[in-house]
């Protein structure tokens, strides 16, 4: 793969309009607005997420069932999880339909209060207990009492059917565990334990053992068949409130009043481990059917989900406002139900609740299928040679297209859905007009059946593949063939244009992918696929990556700029036949011959989830343009739509139902829910209800700022393309502010795609961020507004967090280059670069150094078409070889370096001015040493060079005109002088009005310029009046000459010395005060020694100053005092002061050498900004483009001698650091890494010992408590 890797693989820039508007939304001028609307959206999102649980809204994660008027006492699920029974502190039993989320019916009796309920395993009956001491068995078919058990002396607080349905176990506020025989409708047996009160029961799955938890922490397992105690579990002295058997009968979980969950090993009859909760007592717990998870709750309204394999809390569910007395998994583990004292029942969904719509062919054998890009229509090629077009949402809209003479093997819609192309076994290609459903024209030229078709992005070019191993490129406007690619030796399997249509990727059965340049009609390069046939191929949205699926069932992502495989995704069991990127490029959908469609996370390189299986192998997958819908089609004609973001038109709260509107008011301080009956509002930060809504709206109206994208509150609890359970876990932790338990910062929430890293950056949670950075698990990518987390950390002034992000980016880009994740990270710089530069992080210069990298991985040889360095600004992120060099002539080694993101290149545009202003205001001046900034400034300098020379011409023309006026007093020259000065002052006036008068007058140069202008005007007026003041003329001329000196800034060589001159004056200013003092002092001593008048200029200044330039005539050593004065004068002014001046100037020169780059490029940037401000008056448009520089591979710019200080610095940095220090560290890096691994392993072992010690201490304490109890009993006896 050679010279020709292209940025043209990258799209013809995704339109800059969005980026421009987004940039202008918050930055209308160089000044930053006080309210950042994007930051407000992020704050609003976090506040709403953390408030949502208080509002009781139904979301994708949770549904609330309301109807009870008092606290929920007990809840029970039927065997298949479709029905739910609940009782509260009243006389009603409610039966709920889980699927419809509605109340099915109610059961009532004469009792005052029901206490507990339990479904029978066959779902035909329901057992209930009540405060009238009766146990009722209800027939759910007749909705009547079937029979009752009445032999009770106390209220039954808990009851449970045995899994075989033969027995019912009950416990009361006493020490008896009663087993009731359902068949005989009688009491079977009573178990008791030394008059200890029993608080919890649970049947094992075999129905032969029932466990009872007692007040003293003892758990007894009773054998129901043999009516005896099986064994006892002991070791924890705390009251056992709840019990749950695993389905495999291997473990028993118990919850105590002291917030402990104990997992017992039933085979060894010992404790496996203990989980410590913060529930203030474990009221209820339940094991999932696969024994991987456990759910628990208590009096603090939080529900905890525990991972038993990792022995930690997976997440917390927040939504109830009071204690939760019941929790249970559904039989299939897809959801959890909970009942609370807040009178509500909640259903917490653990698995994906995405909805699907499926269409199956109703007639005809389908040979091919394609999907429209808007996911509204699909076309099928039928066995009768016709094409059927169907409307997915309206079965009545169907059309049949006829015209082919053989079966239709391939169909494809144009990107705008206006055309449909069909390729047939009859060797023809037909183009159909979709709106009229008529044939437009036919393309002929293939000698065999057409097996593959592909439109370019604008729908004007079509590529077709044929069984005769030929690919043809067609111009659909002219309806002619452009050229033929006939270099294949096997059947063409797949094709795809990149987003700007300049390149075509072709996959064939020869195990190669070839990339063709459509403009040059030549092959750019090819990729070998290691023996696997390529069946699907697609470019990423930004064109930097190519994904292809092969016959092994794998998906490979190829990095085009770095010319290497990025990674492989493994998961399908058969050939991958269809691929499509999500619009944001972070996910890819794949369809396979195994009939499955999978969504892959490219950021974390893993599968997110699998869509329901289709009937046959998949031929098409397609994301909608907004990424909310995924459409799939199989070879049998079945089409399935998966709604990744379910539309939510309704939401409910405790006081509002059928809400049709949610809006934010009062500068996002409150959220309002509106329906047909009432309007209610809640403060976002506290969740409290707003009592007087009208006053809130009038006192603090919402800021009226038009934004492209705003938070959709109903999108907060949606998983989109992500694994549902992972999103649920992170969402619940974010909701509960349990940030330290979050296990991924890469998960995104809301329609604005805010990642958890965005939230953590806004909050300044640097410790959490550092944790993920150390594990290399953090990926920085943009939200829907184009911002990275760095943007929000800067906006909220979390500097340490910002520095951590900048340093992390610097490290991973330096080590890994522009891989997939780093390319995503750098996309954010299109919007955030200005703010990041303004922030002036100490690591900024290092980051800007590493982002300016070569385009390819190797040096190319060519004859540059222009003088090096060659700068190019294009809409494509890569250059092809012919853009900058030829393959003939004097070939030299060259490389292309580039910006991996687009830059504002429109001179005079708002974003361009902001960028230069940010560079000038950055406190990290070392950024001027980076190639990125230097090339950027040079680029803009070349674009404004005409105006630089024009301004310089005005300055020097002013001096020439002034000279002519002084020498000739000619009125014509005076007019010219005045015109030039008026132009110069208009220039300055525009600068002042654009940058602000305060900023303008903060510069001493501008003050001098104003004085120069007014003295020149006054001089001209006096000249007209034939008056002349020598002092005024002298001052006027001096000021004009000083201003003219700044004209030398236009030239690189003289700019250096102008800056050096300025620096020398600055460095000498304090010394000159001492020098003047010493000179005046010597003058006074001179006048005394020679008995002269000390007030004369000659005595006080001329004579002592003359010594420095060797003028010794005034000094005559005729007496001792004169000799001493002379010696002092020579020693102080000639020897000491003169050498001090030389020393100071030498130091200034050395310092200037070190800072020469900074001073040079900052001077250029100042001039660029001045000119851009003037040009902005013409309303320059924004242009975002990629910037490339072609340079000699081995020659550094500016190889001339730069002085000893620069030479020493370069030696230390390049030779000593790179050749001596770095190799030494690299040699020991692996050893250090191994040592760290051993230390980590030792830490784990120490932690394990600590846990064992803690367990041992707990057992000792337990034994000690038991001994103390025994001693108390003995002492009482």
Per-residue pLDDT reduced to its tens digit, 494-507: 999 988 888 899 98
Give the rounded percent of residues in the chain with a pLDDT score beyond 90.
Answer: 39
Cα-Cα-Cα-Cα dihedral sign, residues 836, 839, 843, 849:
positive
Which residues are 662's β-sheet partners?
673
Dump pLDDT digits (tens) for 401-449. Answer: 999 999 999 999 999 999 999 999 999 999 999 888 899 999 999 989 9
| Averaged pLDDT score across all residues of the chain | 83
Indicate the SS3 state at residue 671: strand
DSSP string, 780-826: ----TTS--HHHHHHHTT-HHHHHHHHHHHHHHHHHH-S-HHHHHHH
pLDDT of residue 1222: 56
The residue that leads in pLDDT, 1028 or 86, is 86
Mean pLDDT of 525-530: 83
Q: What is the pTM of this model?
A: 0.83
CA nearest 175: which of 208, 224, 220? 220
Structure confidence at residue 1198 as a pLDDT band (50, 70, 90)? very low
Looking at 514-518, 540-544, 652-656, which range is the least confident one? Answer: 652-656
Would you call the peptide bond into 869 cis, given omega within 30 degrees of 0 as the criterion? Answer: yes
Structure confidence at residue 159 as a pLDDT band (50, 70, 90)? very high
Rounded to whole angstroms, the Cα distance separating 638 from 631 reads 11
Dump pLDDT digits (tens) for 2-17. Answer: 333 333 333 333 333 3
For residue 203, the number of C-alpha atoms closer than 13 Å in the C-beta half-sphere is 23
Could you please state the CATH topology (level 3) that the domain comprising 69-288 is classified under: Methylamine Dehydrogenase; Chain H (2.130.10)
Q: What is the distance, to the nearest Å, from the Cα of residue 489 to the centroid of all Cα atoms in its chain?
A: 44
Structure confidence at residue 1111 as a pLDDT band (50, 70, 90)? low
The answer to whether the beta carbons of residues 750 and 715 sit under 8 Å apart is yes
Q: What is the distance, to the nearest Å, from the Cα of residue 144 to the centroid of all Cα atoms in its chain?
A: 57
Dump pLDDT digits (tens) for 326-356. Answer: 999 999 999 999 999 999 999 999 886 666 7
Rounded to whole angstroms, the Cα distance separating 242 from 57 reads 30
Dump pLDDT digits (tens) for 553-572. Answer: 999 999 988 888 999 999 99
Structure confidence at residue 19 as a pLDDT band (50, 70, 90)? very low
Looking at 189-203, 846-860, 1201-1215, which range is the least confident one? Answer: 1201-1215
Rounded to whole angstroms, the Cα distance separating 779 from 799 reads 19
Cα-Cα-Cα-Cα dihedral sign, residues 849, 787, 17, 878:
positive
Looking at 378-392, 597-611, 913-927, 1193-1207, which range is the least confident one? Answer: 1193-1207
Dump pLDDT digits (tens) for 1051-1070. Answer: 888 887 777 777 777 777 77
CA nearest 876: which of 391, 493, 543, 1242? 543
Q: What is the CA radius of gyration of the chain?
A: 41
Judge whether residue 464 has pLDDT over 80: yes
Dump pLDDT digits (tens) for 190-228. Answer: 998 888 899 999 999 999 999 999 999 999 999 998 889
Query: CB atoms < 10 A from the CB of 107, how many?
Result: 21
pLDDT of residue 1155: 80
CA nearest 879: which of 1098, 1223, 1190? 1190
Mean pLDDT of 584-594: 92
Where along the chain do its domains lie? 69-288, 445-504
Structure confidence at residue 797 as a pLDDT band (50, 70, 90)? very high
CA nearest 126: which of 134, 137, 110, 115? 137
Query: Element (H or E) spanning 156, and its range?
Result: strand 156-161
Dump pLDDT digits (tens) for 858-900. Answer: 788 888 888 888 888 888 877 777 778 887 778 888 888 888 8
pLDDT of residue 691: 65
pLDDT of residue 672: 76
Mean pLDDT of 358-379: 79
pLDDT of residue 491: 83
Rounded to whole angstroms, the Cα distance separating 804 from 790 reads 9
pLDDT of residue 1246: 63
pLDDT of residue 294: 96
Give me 926's structure tokens. Answer: 């070392």
pLDDT of residue 1077: 83
């Amino acid at each position: 793969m050679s010279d020709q890797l292209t940025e043209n693989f990258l799209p013809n820039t995704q339109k800059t309009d969005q980026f421009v508007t987004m940039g202008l939304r918050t930055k209308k001028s160089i000044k930053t607005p006080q309210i950042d609307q994007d930051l407000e959206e992020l704050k609003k999102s976090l506040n709403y997420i953390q408030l949502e649980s208080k509002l009781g809204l139904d979301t994708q994660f949770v549904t609330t069932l309301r109807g009870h008027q008092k606290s929920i006492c007990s809840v029970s699920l039927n065997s298949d999880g479709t029905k739910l029974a609940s009782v509260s502190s009243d006389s009603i039993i409610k039966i709920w339909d889980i699927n419809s989320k509605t109340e099915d019916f109610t059961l009532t009796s004469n009792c005052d209060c029901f206490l507990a309920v339990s479904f029978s395993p066959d779902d035909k009956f329901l057992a209930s207990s009540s405060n009238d001491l009766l146990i009722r068995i209800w027939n759910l078919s007749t909705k009547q009492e079937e029979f009752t058990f009445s032999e009770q002396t106390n209220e039954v607080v808990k009851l449970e059917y045995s899994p075989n349905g033969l027995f019912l176990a009950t416990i009361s506020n006493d020490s008896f565990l009663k087993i009731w025989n359902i068949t005989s409708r009688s009491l079977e047996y009573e178990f008791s334990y030394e008059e200890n009160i029993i608080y919890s029961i649970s049947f094992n799955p075999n129905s032969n053992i029932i466990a009872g938890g007692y007040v003293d922490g003892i758990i007894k397992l009773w054998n129901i068949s043999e009516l005896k105690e099986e064994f006892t579990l002991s070791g924890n002295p705390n009251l056992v409130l709840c019990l749950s058997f695993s389905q495999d009968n291997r473990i028993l979980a118990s919850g105590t009043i002291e917030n402990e969950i104990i997992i017992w090993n039933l085979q060894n009859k010992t404790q496996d481990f203990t989980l410590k909760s913060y529930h203030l007592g474990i009221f209820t717990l339940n094991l999932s059917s696969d024994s991987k998870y456990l759910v628990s709750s208590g009096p603090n309204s939080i529900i905890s989900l525990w991972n038993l394999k990792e022995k930690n809390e997976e997440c917390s569910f927040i939504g109830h406002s009071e204690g939760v007395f019941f929790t249970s998994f559904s039989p299939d583990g897809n959801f959890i139900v909970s009942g609370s004292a807040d009178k509500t029942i909640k259903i917490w969904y653990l698995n994906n609740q995405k909805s699907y719509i499926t269409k199956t062919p109703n007639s005809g054998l389908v040979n091919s299928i394609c999907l429209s890009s808007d996911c509204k229509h699909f076309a099928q090629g039928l066995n009768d040679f016709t094409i059927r077009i169907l409307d997915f949402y309206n079965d009545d809209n169907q059309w049949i297209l006829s015209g082919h003479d053989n079966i239709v093997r391939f169909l494809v819609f144009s990107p705008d859905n206006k055309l449909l192309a069909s390729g047939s076994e009859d060797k023809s290609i037909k183009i159909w007009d979709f709106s009229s459903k008529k044939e437009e024209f036919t393309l002929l030229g293939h000698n065999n059946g057409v097996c593959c078709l592909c439109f370019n992005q604008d729908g004007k070019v079509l590529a077709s593949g044929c069984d005769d191993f030929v690919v043809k490129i067609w111009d659909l406007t002219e309806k002619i063939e452009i050229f033929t690619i006939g270099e294949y030796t096997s059947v063409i399997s797949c094709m795809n244009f990149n987003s700007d249509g300049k390149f075509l990727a072709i996959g064939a059965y020869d195990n190669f992918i070839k990339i063709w340049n459509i403009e040059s009609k030549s092959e750019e390069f090819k990729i070998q696929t290691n023996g696997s046939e390529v069946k699907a191929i697609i470019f990423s949205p930004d064109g930097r990556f190519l994904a292809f699926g092969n016959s092994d069932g794998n998906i490979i992502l190829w990095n085009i700029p770095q010319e290497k495989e990025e990674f492989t995704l493994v998961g399908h069991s058969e050939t991958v036949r269809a691929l499509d990127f999500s619009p944001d490029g972070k996910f890819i959908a794949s369809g396979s011959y195994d009939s499955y469609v999978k969504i892959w996370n490219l950021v974390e390189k893993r599968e997110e989830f699998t869509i329901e299986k289709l009937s046959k192998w998949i031929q098409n997958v397609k994301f909608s343009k907004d990424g909310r819908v995924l459409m799939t089609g199989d070879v049998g004609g079945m089409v399935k739509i998966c709604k990744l973001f379910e539309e939510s038109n309704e939401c409910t709260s405790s006081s509002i139902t059928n809400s049709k509107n949610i809006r934010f008011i009062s500068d996002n301080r409150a959220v309002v829910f509106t329906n047909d009956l009432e309007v209610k509002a809640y403060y976002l930060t506290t969740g409290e209800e707003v009592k007087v809504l009208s006053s809130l709206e009038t006192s603090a109206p919402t800021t009226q700022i038009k934004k492209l994208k705003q938070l959709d509150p109903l999108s907060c609890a949606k998983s989109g393309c992500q694994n549902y359970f992972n999103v649920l876990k992170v969402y619940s932790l974010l909701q509960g502010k349990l940030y330290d338990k979050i296990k991924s910062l890469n998960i995104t929430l809301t329609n604005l795609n805010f990642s958890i890293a965005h939230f953590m950056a806004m909050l300044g949670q640097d410790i959490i961020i550092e944790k993920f950075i150390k594990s290399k698990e953090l990926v920085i990518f943009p939200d829907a507004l184009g911002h990275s987390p760095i943007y929000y950390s800067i906006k909220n002034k979390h500097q340490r967090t910002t520095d951590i992000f900048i340093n992390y980016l610097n490290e991973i880009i330096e080590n890994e280059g522009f891989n997939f994740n780093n390319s995503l990270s750098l996309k954010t710089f299109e919007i955030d670069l200005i703010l990041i530069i303004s922030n002036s992080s100490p690591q900024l210069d290092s980051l800007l150094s590493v982002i300016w990298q070569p385009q390819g991985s190797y040096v190319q040889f060519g004859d540059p078409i222009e003088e090096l360095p060659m700068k190019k600004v294009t809409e494509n992120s890569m250059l092809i070889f012919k853009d900058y060099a030829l393959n003939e002539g004097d070939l030299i080694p060259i490389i292309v370096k580039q910006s991996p993101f687009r830059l504002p290149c429109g001179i005079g545009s708002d974003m361009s001015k902001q960028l230069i202003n940010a560079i000038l205001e950055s406190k990290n001046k070392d950024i001027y040493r980076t190639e990125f900034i230097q090339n950027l400034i040079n680029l803009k300098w070349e674009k404004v060079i005409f105006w630089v020379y024009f301004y310089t011409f005005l300055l020097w023309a002013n001096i020439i005109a002034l000279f002519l006026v002084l020498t000739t007093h000619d009125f014509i020259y005076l007019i010219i002088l005045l015109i030039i000065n008026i132009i110069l002052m208009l220039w300055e006036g525009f600068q002042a009005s654009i940058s602000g008068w305060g900023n303008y007058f903060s510069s001493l140069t501008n003050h001098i310029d104003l004085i120069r202008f007014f003295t020149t005007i006054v001089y001209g007026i006096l000249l007209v009046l034939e008056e002349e003041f020598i002092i005024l003329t002298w001052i006027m001329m001096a000021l004009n000459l000083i201003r003219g000196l700044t004209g030398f800034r236009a030239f690189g060589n003289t700019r250096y010395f102008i800056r050096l001159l300025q620096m020398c004056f600055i460095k000498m200013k304090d010394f000159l005060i001492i020098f003047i003092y010493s000179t005046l002092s010597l003058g006074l001593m001179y006048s005394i020694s020679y008995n002269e008048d000390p007030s004369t200029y000659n005595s006080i200044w001329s004579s002592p100053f003359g010594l420095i330039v060797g003028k010794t005539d005034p000094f005559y050593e005729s007496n001792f005092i004169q000799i001493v004065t002379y010696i002092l004068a020579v020693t102080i002014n000639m020897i000491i002061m003169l050498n001090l001046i030389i020393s100071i100037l030498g130091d200034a020169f050395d310092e200037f050498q070190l800072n020469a780059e900074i001073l040079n490029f900052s001077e250029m940037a100042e001039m660029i900004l001045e000119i851009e401000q003037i040009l902005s008056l013409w309303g320059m448009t924004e242009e975002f483009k990629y910037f490339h520089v072609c340079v000699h591979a081995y020659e550094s710019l500016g190889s001339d001698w730069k002085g000893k200080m620069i030479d020493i610095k370069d030696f230390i940095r390049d030779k000593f650091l790179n050749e001596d220090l770095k190799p030494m560290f690299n040699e020991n890096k692996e050893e250090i890494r191994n040592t760290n691994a051993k230390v980590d392993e030792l830490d784990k072992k120490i932690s394990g010992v600590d846990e064992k010690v803690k367990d041992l201490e707990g057992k000792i304490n337990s034994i000690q408590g038991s001994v103390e109890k025994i001693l108390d009993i003995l002492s009482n006896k």
